[in-house]
Amino acid sequence: MQYAITLTLIALSFALAAFVGLRAGISRTREGRILSFVALLVLPVVAVWGGYTEHEERASTTEFCLQCHVMADFGKTLHYDDKSYIPAVHFENRFVPRDQACFTCHADYALFGGITSKIHGLKNVYVQYFGTPRKPADIKISSPFPNSTCLHCHLGSRAFETVNGHHKTADMLQKVKASQLSCTSSSCHDTIHEVGDLKDAKFWTEPK
């Protein structure tokens, strides 16, 4: 629905701007000047805002992320039939929305997190189309995975707060919450995408 509205808005803005371009003489009348103002300033600004919102929404989808060839293998790892793989267990159990599986874990949840993630994504797109992309097995996360992304959902949940593994030492949970102990690189939850395991892996298929 939002997509249709955005397309209609941009099409309408285009038609009006083109009309003003073809009939610039309308600016001789007061009504024509108002129409020019709406067609060349107000509507385009609204249209670009709508277009950006739509693009941002679409750029958050799993389908979008997996368009790049090197990401295809990472998409397959979401279907590992093994609970030790963190992305697979999140995807298969619907701990993350399946249509935004990549973005849910690879987005910064700070104030401008969405925009920061998109800028970072643009660099990946640049490498994909204008650079030399690495082999999927050689691709590593560019900065340590932040605990805040995990805590965004898990903090306060009963399983997270009470599971024995989070109380191996008295202050373990506090250290995790303070990001002094990494969730993913402290030998705890460090089996992530592991695309190198794909060739020997078993895959889970959702029952119809």
Residue ranges binding other proteins (CB under 8 A)? 3, 6-7, 10-11, 13-14, 17-22, 24-25, 27, 36, 39-41, 44-45, 47-48, 51-52, 54-55, 58-59, 61, 63-64, 67-68, 121-122, 125, 128-129
CB of 21 to other proteins, least distance (A): 3
For the record, the structure tokens of 118 come out as 């998109």
CB of 142 to other proteins, least distance (A): 17
CB of 47 to other proteins, least distance (A): 6
3-state secondary structure 37-77: HHHHHHHHHHHHHHHHHHHHHHCCCHHHHCCCHHHHHHHHH
Of 40 and 89, nearer to other proteins (C-beta) is 40
Indicate the DSSP class of residue 144.
P
Of 45 and 155, nearer to other proteins (C-beta) is 45
Of 60 and 147, nearer to other proteins (C-beta) is 60
Check residue 188 and give left, alpha or beta (phi > 0: left; psi -120 to 50: alpha): alpha
- Please tell me the distance from the alpha carbon of residue 16 to that of residue 13, in angstroms, as a whole number: 5
Of 52 and 203, nearer to other proteins (C-beta) is 52
CB of 95 to other proteins, least distance (A): 25
DSSP bridge pairs for 203: 80
Of 49 and 203, nearer to other proteins (C-beta) is 49
- Please tell me the distance from the alpha carbon of residue 44 to that of residue 50, in angstroms, as a whole number: 10
